Structure formats: C-alpha cells, structure tokens
Amino acid sequence: LVDAERIAADIDALAAITEPGRPYTRRAFTPLFLEGRAYLEKRFKSAGLETRIDENGNLIGRRPGNGSGRGVLMLGSHSDTVPEGGRFDGIAGVIAALEVARSLADQGITLNHDLEIVDFLAEEVSIFGVSCIGSRGMANMRPPEWLERRAGDLTLEEGLGMVGGSPHASGARNDIRAFLELHIEQGPVLEADHLDIGVVTAIAGITRIEIIVTGRADHAGTTPMTRRLDALTAAARLVIAIHHLGQELAATAGHFAATVGEFEMEPNAANVVPSRVRMLLDVRAEHRRDLDQFRTLLGQAVEVVGQETGVTIAAPKVISDNPATPMHGEVIEALEAGCQATGASHRRMASGAGHDAAFMARISKAGMIFIACAGGRSHTPEEWAENADLTLGAAVLRDAVCRLDDQ
Amino acid sequence: LVDAERIAADIDALAAITEPGRPYTRRAFTPLFLEGRAYLEKRFKSAGLETRIDENGNLIGRRPGNGSGRGVLMLGSHSDTVPEGGRFDGIAGVIAALEVARSLADQGITLNHDLEIVDFLAEEVSIFGVSCIGSRGMANMRPPEWLERRAGDLTLEEGLGMVGGSPHASGARNDIRAFLELHIEQGPVLEADHLDIGVVTAIAGITRIEIIVTGRADHAGTTPMTRRLDALTAAARLVIAIHHLGQELAATAGHFAATVGEFEMEPNAANVVPSRVRMLLDVRAEHRRDLDQFRTLLGQAVEVVGQETGVTIAAPKVISDNPATPMHGEVIEALEAGCQATGASHRRMASGAGHDAAFMARISKAGMIFIACAGGRSHTPEEWAENADLTLGAAVLRDAVCRLDDQ
Ligand SMILES: NC(=O)NCCC(=O)O
Ligand SMILES: NC(=O)NCCC(=O)O
C-alpha cells in the first residue's frame, strides 16, 4: 500500500538540499529551507494535493474528502533542521504523511474527512531563538511579542512574510478533528528493545530551572582551603544531587529526566577561587507530581549544600514551564490498531522531546508514533533511521487515518 | 626612622594613576604604567638615587655604597597591576624600598654595599599572557621565545623597547648579594592571627594540571538517565575529590592548596547532555612530596570516576610546573631580627602566591616579608592595607638591610 522506494527517494532528495559540506543543515527562514519547501510543494502537487502556505507559514497540501463536513484529519511534521542534524528529524514525518496521501490517491480512496498534509514552520529552535513557530501559530499559542524577535536585520514578522505567511493570524483552527505525527524517537529505547513502533502516550513537560551559586573570589594560591567560599565545589555537589534525583524519579512510573545542560563559571581564571556558577537545568516529566517532587527535593539539596559550604545559593528559579501533554486516547488506540493490522511490533512510551503535536493537542485530538533511530542519536550528521522502519511507520499512519476516518 | 606620611603620600599618588573610574588599573606596557613609572623615577631622583632602566625593562634607583666591592643589596617589588586591582599589590613593596633609601639618606648613612631599589617589569600576568617578565629577565630565566608573544599588534620584543629595555639581555646578574621584598599577604592569615609581619620561608610551587572529561552528547529529553555518558556529572565528582584532597594535604605540614580555577563545558546547550568538560587545576605546594602525593591520589580518583561513570578521562596533564623556592636562611634571620628590633609581632609562613623573589632567589640570597591585607583580598578594587602596617614593614626592611650590610 505504501511505497518504500518513493519514500527513500524523497528522503534522499531532501538530504541533498543542505549547506555544501555541512549535512544536514536546512534551517528555517534560510534560502535552503525555501528550496526544500519548493521540492516538497512540487511533490505535494504531483500527489494531487492542493497546496497553500497558511497564515502561520506552514506548507499544507489538501486532499478534499467526500464533503460530509466532518472536518480535517491532519498528518505531518517539519522540514527544518538544526545546524548539522536532521536527515530524518522532522522530514521523516512529512514524507510519511505525503506517502499516506499518495497511497490513498493510488487506490482512488476518498475519505469522509478532508486530509491535510503539513510541513510546520520552524519546529526547531530557529534563527529567532524560539521553536514550533508554525504549530504554535495554528493553535493561537505563539506569543504576539515574538513577532519583534530579530535574527540580524530580519524580524520574525518579516521572516513570516518571507516564507509566505502573514503576521496577522486569525486565531486557532477549529476544523481539525485529529492530528497524527510520525517522528524518529531521538532516544535509544526502541532500538534496544528491537521494536518497530513507539505509540506516544504523552509528550513530557519541559521545565527549565536556573540555579545561581555565589561564593567569593579569592587568591587560589594564598587562601587556605578551610577559608574559601568556592562556588564550583558547591555547584558540583548540586550537579551530583540533581543526577541522583533524576535517576530516582526516572525509576518510578512515567518518563523523567533531569539534565544540567548549561554550566558557566566566573571568573574562570586559573589562579582565582570560583566566585559564581550559573546552571540551567532541563527537566522532563510526564507526570506533574514527579516534577513537583523533584523541585521539593532540589530545594532541600540547595538548602543543605548552602548550609554545609557557606556559599549563597538562590532559590532555584523556574525560567519556563511547559506542562506535559497527553495524547488523545482515540488516536492512541487507532495507532495501536494500525500497528496490529500492519504487524508492527510496538510499545507505548512517552516522548521526552518536545514536538509540534504538543501544540496541535490544544486544538485537536493528537497522537504520535516513533520509529527507531540508530543509537538514539539525533541533531547530528550521524542521525539515521532505516527506510524499512519509516515505510512501516507510514503504513501504520495510513491504517490509523482510515480507522479515524470511519469513526 | 621611616616616615609614615611620605609612604602614604606616594601610595596615594600612584593610586591616582589609574584608568578613569576603574581603580586600580595600571597594567604593564600601557601609557598609565609609564605614567606611574615617571612618577616613581621622579621620587627615586628626589631620594638621591641614580636611576636607570635595565635591559629587562626594570626601573632601578641606585645608592652607591662605600666602594668596598661587596656587591649589591636590592630591595623592591613591582608597580604594575592586574585589571581592577593593585592599590598595594606590588607598589607597597616599591614604596617601602624607596622609603628605606630615603631614610638612609636622611641620616647620611653610607652602606658597605651598593643599594638598589627596583620596580620589576610586569610581575602580574601582563597583556602578553605571562608574568614576572622583569625578574625572570634579571635571572636569565625568561624563555627567549616569549619575545615573539603578541598583544594585538605589539610584540613583547617591541614592548620591552617601549619601556626602555632591550630584547638582547646579557645574562643573569651576578653582583646581587641579597634581595628583599615586602608584599601584601594576599591571604587572611596575618589578619586573623593579629600579627604585623609574616616572614616568608618559601614561595610555594605552582603546578597547573589539565583534566579533560569526554562523555557523549545525547538529547536531554529522550535519553534515559541510565544510558548517559554525562561529562558534567563525572567532572563534578572530580571537583569534589580534588577539593577533599586539597583539604587533606593542607592539614599536613607545609602550605598546600588545590583549586579548579577554569571549568568549561561543551556543548553547553540547554537540552543536550554535556559531552566534554575541560578543567584547569592550580596546585600550590611548599613541599614536593605533597604535590607528588596529590598527583598520585588524583590519578586514582580519575580512574575510579572513569570506571564508575563510563566516561573517558584522559590522564591529568601537567601544563606547567614551577617548583617551590625556599627563601635564604640568612635573609630570613635578618628579617626576623628586624621584626624583633622594631617590635613587630611576626610568624614564619610560606607564600602561596608567586612573586619576583622566586626568580631573584636563583641569583641571590632572597627573602620576603608580608603585611596583612583586609580580608586577605587582593586583585580587586577593595584590596586594602593599613599604612601603619606598611610603615612598620618598611622599618623591618631597613633594619634587615643594615644587618645584612654588616655581615
Ligand atoms: N524534538 C526535539 O528535539 N525538540 C526540541 C525541543 C526539545 O525537546 O528539547
Ligand atoms: N602575587 C601574585 O598574585 N602572583 C600572581 C601569580 C600567582 O601566584 O597566582
């Protein structure tokens, strides 16, 4: 029903649209991104889809249904990449969605719903420093002040215009019944468990927490070890505490991960006792109670380390807090039924990474499937997914779409 | 015998020669440094000294002795500062030395030795990235390749010419019988012990050790806590181990301190597991056996952390290794006798910081005294020493010089 070679040819064609010698770099708002889109639009058209750029800069290909007014089933993901990474991250989901449309066309099937294939604008953190611009826009969740964000001379308002969108969006779409997205897992679980498909139960919340440790800059040669307020030594104790808390909470039910992703020290001079450390934590929680418990235990660790070392540690500050998003039960079940029908081995799992589906879930019933990627690696030129897995994923999507269409 | 007001006036005059609004910044090779030197030269001349810039860029004021050919007694320190720090660090020792010469002149005393007052060039890490340029040069220990070091368009060779020196030094001086330096302690010990003077027994060795921890960059959202190679968590364990080793060795006889002064992490991105940490350790040891033991135990810690975390930690690499320098027994005794004669309370102590005296010890009998500085702080605008302490220090120097002159 779905065609592996057609899928592989499209993946290869997009992979060739990258900065020379720098695979795979097709960042949103760049000429290469527009080149990738031009290719996609051509392919959408060959599949018989009516194409348009919506007001949020998303490329959409439409296959009208039988006119029964039951709304839209939307499939897709994103074609933009991070610098040096994204042979599959995003584009796999766009091509799988396109293949579903092609397969339906091949067989002359008309759905009860209108089918829309979407390439969301700028899912990755773009040149404007923010992510999921297109899906946030479609859900009317893009902060208006983002329009003024700049990348060099360009504002996001101008960037939206450049890709064919409009800054004056007319609100959330309310005609989408369900949204389905295929994506590479970006983690090692499916590969390790030798499974074809992960059916996503929820997209974990992403909470960013800043911790600032303030000690005292002293001469590293002359200040006795017992008389220091060494910000680094105190921060190191917190790093270890955070890692252990992360491990403990990850061992309970539900996805949980805590990472100190940013760590900067001052004055960072060879012969000066460190006076200040700034850490930025990335916390992913499927369940809010795990996040709450983490924050409680983190607060206790901060107290203890502050008391025992004498340094000052400000109360951990939540910089951003996007709650977890459950996927919709009907879509989860349709996708699981799709796995069974196509013979795909599968498990339920949470997504630790953020996705456009998290925003689509605000305005529609949303669901996602993952396919394995080699070593769980993504956002790197080595990122790899097998075409057989991607093809099987497209078949699962196709089956689930038909099921949802019947309901 | 020595004049507190004259000392205070000179300290104040030099303090006024700084970048506007940025006390106290008079870095070597800058116009302000030359302005400070012009002031010093004028004051040297008023004290009856014959002034010259030697081939290593050091300002020297000379007071001839009685011609008995017993060589030179040299006193001094440095007038350059780090950025935003150095109201006393360095200049206190130059002014105290000058005051000794003035005091001898006031009383019409002619020594058996020629007396030289010195302002060494660029004791602090200068714009060329290296320190103790003048004293290294006088001891013929300045690496020849340093002449090619650059600060913007300027080479050190040109810099030396600019201050009145010459790149073609004629070797180590061999006419200096003893060198005495007064400096602020740059540590908290004298202040805490309510003592006037620290008589320095040795200048601790300075060893810089680089440690590189290599983990694996993974997606912070999706990679399970149990499947990470987190370079930061492993590095944090080493930071704590190093701190504990430092505390243990500091509790034994002899000065010892270990500091992780530089710490950089990659990729330092919020949602990526840290893949690499580079640390630079600063280790100060009065006794080589403490350094050796530290290195052995550090090697063991690296093994253990590497094994337990799975990350790769390269064997710690010694980047530079300057051994400890004992001060000369005769000079130590003369300075202690000077403390007794002037009624200064005192103790013996090692210098944790490097000083010009460490290089002068290679070509003469060298000794140092410390005076307290507020809170042990230095290299900061808050750096402070009491003029009474500085004056007492100058009296101790004067007394010691006369003793050494008689021997
Ligand atoms: N899918 C993905 O990598 N999203 C980026 C945002 C995040 O999860 O860190
Ligand atoms: N005295 C002083 O601060 N020297 C700088 C070199 C060092 O000891 O770190």
Q: Each residue of B266-317: pLDDT tens digit?
A: 999 999 999 999 999 999 999 999 999 999 999 999 999 999 999 999 999 9
Give the whole-angstrom CA distance, residue B75 versus residue B178. 8
Neighbours of B342 (CB within 10 A): 21
Atom of ligand 1 nearest to the CA of A282: 9
Give distance in angstroms: CA of A389 to centre of ligand 1: 21
Work out the percent of chain A whose per-residue pLDDT is above 70.
Answer: 100
Beta bridge partners of A367: A180
Work out the percent of chain B whose per-residue pLDDT is above 90.
Answer: 96
Q: Report whether pLDDT(B85) > 90.
A: no
Work out the pLDDT band at B178, boundaries 50, 70, 90. very high
- Residue contact A221–B204, C-beta within 8 A: yes
Q: Each residue of A331-343: pLDDT tens digit?
A: 999 999 999 999 9
Mutate to test the pocket of ligand 2, among B136, B355, B377 (most ligand atoms within 8 A of CB): B355
Beta bridge partners of A348: A199
Asked if residue B374 lies in contact with residue B78, where contact means CB atoms within 8 angstroms, the answer is: no
DSSP secondary structure string for all residues of B6-34? HHHHHHHHHHTSS-TTSSS---TTSHHHH
- Which residues of chain B are within 8 Å of residue A224 when distances are taken between CB atoms? 187-189, 250, 257
Q: Each residue of B346-363: pLDDT tens digit?
A: 999 999 999 999 999 999
Give the whole-angstrom CA distance, residue B358 versus residue B346. 21
For position A169, what pLDDT does the model report? 78
Q: Phi first, then psi: what are they for B230, rounded to 5°?
A: -90, 110
Asked if residue A101 lies in contact with residue A117, where contact means CB atoms within 8 angstroms, the answer is: yes
- Residue contact A230–B282, C-beta within 8 A: no
For position A323, what pLDDT does the model report? 95
Binding site for allantoate, residues of B?
Answer: 208, 271, 284
Q: Phi first, then psi: what are they for A259, rounded to 5°?
A: -135, 130
Neighbours of A394 (CB within 10 A): 31
Atom of ligand 2 nearest to the CA of B82: 3
**Helices A4-15 and A387-406, packing angle to 10 deg:** 120
The enclosing H or E element of B183 equals strand B176-184
Report the mean per-residue pLDDT for chain A: 97
Please give the average per-residue pLDDT across B225-245, as a whole number: 97
User: Minimal Cα distance from A319: which residue of B?
Assistant: B270
Give the whole-angstrom CA distance, residue B35 versus residue B250. 42
Give distance in angstroms: CA of B34 to centre of ligand 1: 56
User: Minimal Cα distance from A184: which residue of B?
Assistant: B222
Q: Report whether pLDDT(A167) > 90.
A: no
Neighbours of A237 (CB within 10 A): 23
Neighbours of B115 (CB within 10 A): 24
A-to-B residue pairs, Cβ atoms closer than 8 angstroms: 193
Please give the average per-residue pLDDT across B85-100, as a whole number: 96
Give the whole-angstrom CA distance, residue B96 versus residue B73. 15
Closest by CA to B269, choosing from B219, B308, B329, B344, is B219
Q: Report whether pLDDT(B55) > 90.
A: yes
R_g over Cα of chain A: 23
Protein residue closest via CA to atom 8 of ligand 1: A353
Protein residue closest via CA to atom 3 of ligand 2: B353
For position A339, what pLDDT does the model report? 98
DSSP secondary structure string for all residues of A228-249? ---HHHHHHHHHHHHHHHHHHH
Give the whole-angstrom CA distance, residue A256 versus residue A247. 8
Give distance in angstroms: CA of A181 to centre of ligand 2: 60
- The backbone region for B73, taken as left when phi is positive above 0, alpha when psi lies in -120 to 50, beta otherwise, is beta
Q: Each residue of A54-112: pLDDT tens digit?
A: 999 999 999 999 999 999 999 999 999 999 888 999 999 999 999 999 999 999 999 99
- Residue contact B270–A262, C-beta within 8 A: yes
Say which ligand is closest to the CA of B203. 2
Protein residue closest via CA to atom 6 of ligand 2: B354
Atom of ligand 1 nearest to the CA of A124: 5
Give distance in angstroms: CA of A44 to centre of ligand 2: 68
- Residue contact A243–B224, C-beta within 8 A: no
Atom of ligand 2 nearest to the CA of A222: 8
**Distance from the B259 Cα atom to the nearest Cα atom in chain A, whole angstroms:** 6
Asked if residue B48 lies in contact with residue B57, where contact means CB atoms within 8 angstroms, the answer is: no
Give distance in angstroms: CA of A114 to centre of ligand 1: 29
Give the whole-angstrom CA distance, residue B102 versus residue B47. 5
- Residue contact A240–B237, C-beta within 8 A: yes
Q: Report whether pLDDT(B52) > 90.
A: yes
Give the whole-angstrom CA distance, residue B12 versus residue A88. 68
- Which residues of chain B are within 8 Å of residue A376 when distances are taken between CB atoms? 218-219, 222-223, 227
- Flag whether A208 is marked binding: yes
Say which ligand is closest to the CA of B130. 2
What are the start-end ranges of the H helices in A125-264?
Answer: 133-138, 156-162, 189-193, 231-250
Residue found under tokens 């215009």:
A161
Work out the pLDDT band at A170, boundaries 50, 70, 90. confident
**Distance from the B84 Cα atom to the nearest Cα atom in chain A, whole angstroms:** 13
| pTM value > 0.95 | no
For position A322, what pLDDT does the model report? 93
Give distance in angstroms: CA of A58 to centre of ligand 1: 19
Rounded to whole angstroms, the maximal C-alpha distance in chain B is 82
For position A133, what pLDDT does the model report? 97
Work out the pLDDT band at B87, boundaries 50, 70, 90. very high
DSSP secondary structure string for all residues of B319-341? EEEEPPEEPPHHHHHHHHHHHHH
Atom of ligand 1 nearest to the CA of A354: 8
Q: Each residue of B217-233: pLDDT tens digit?
A: 999 999 999 999 999 99
> Which of A184, A186, A225, A368 is best to mutate for the B interface (most B CBs within 10 A)?
A225
- Flag whether A136 is marked binding: no
Q: B118 by DSSP, 3-state: which?
A: strand
Closest by CA to A23, choosing from A96, A107, A114, A87, is A87
Angle at B352 between CA B347 and CA B355, to 5 degrees: 100
Q: Each residue of A250-287: pLDDT tens digit?
A: 998 899 999 999 999 999 999 999 999 999 999 999 99
Closest by CA to A402, choosing from A48, A77, A2, A5, is A2
Burial of A362 (C-beta count, 10 Å sphere; 0-12/13-18/19+): middle
- Residue contact A262–B239, C-beta within 8 A: no
The more confident residue out of A170 and B192 is B192
- Residue contact A380–B217, C-beta within 8 A: yes
For position A116, what pLDDT does the model report? 98
- Residue contact B220–A257, C-beta within 8 A: yes
User: Minimal Cα distance from B185: which residue of A?
Assistant: A222
The more confident residue out of A209 and B169 is A209
Give the whole-angstrom CA distance, residue A90 versus residue A355. 9
Please give the average per-residue pLDDT across B123-147, as a whole number: 95
- Which residues of chain A are within 8 Å of residue B351 when distances are taken between CB atoms? 221-222
Q: Report whether pLDDT(B167) > 90.
A: no
Please give the average per-residue pLDDT across A360-364, as a whole number: 98
Q: Write out residues with Cβ below 6 Å of ligand 1.
A: A 131, 186, 353-355; B 221, 271
User: Minimal Cα distance from B246: which residue of A?
Assistant: A225
Work out the pLDDT band at B37, boundaries 50, 70, 90. very high
Work out the pLDDT band at B65, boundaries 50, 70, 90. very high
- Residue contact A227–B263, C-beta within 8 A: no
Q: How many residues in total does chain A contain?
A: 407
**Distance from the B113 Cα atom to the nearest Cα atom in chain A, whole angstroms:** 34
Protein residue closest via CA to atom 5 of ligand 2: B354
Which residues, in sequence order, are CB contacts of A20 under 8 Å at separation 6+? none
User: Minimal Cα distance from B223: which residue of A?
Assistant: A187
> How distant is the alpha carbon of residue B149 from its chain centre?
21
Q: Report whether pLDDT(A195) > 90.
A: yes
The enclosing H or E element of A314 equals none
The encoded tokens of residue B263 equal: 């710490």
**Helices A91-106 and A387-406, packing angle to 10 deg:** 60
> Which of A183, A184, A227, A259 is best to mutate for the B interface (most B CBs within 10 A)?
A259
Atom of ligand 1 nearest to the CA of B271: 9
> Which of B124, B131, B225, B351 is best to mutate for the A interface (most A CBs within 10 A)?
B225
Work out the pLDDT band at A235, boundaries 50, 70, 90. very high
Work out the pLDDT band at B168, boundaries 50, 70, 90. confident
Closest by CA to B315, choosing from B298, B328, B290, is B298
The encoded tokens of residue B173 equal: 């001086």
- Which residues of chain B are within 8 Å of residue A282 when distances are taken between CB atoms? 220-221, 270-271
Is it true that the peptide bond before A267 is cis, omega within 30 degrees of 0?
A: yes
- Which residues of chain A are within 8 Å of residue B380 when distances are taken between CB atoms? 217
Provide the 8-state DSSP code for B219. Answer: B
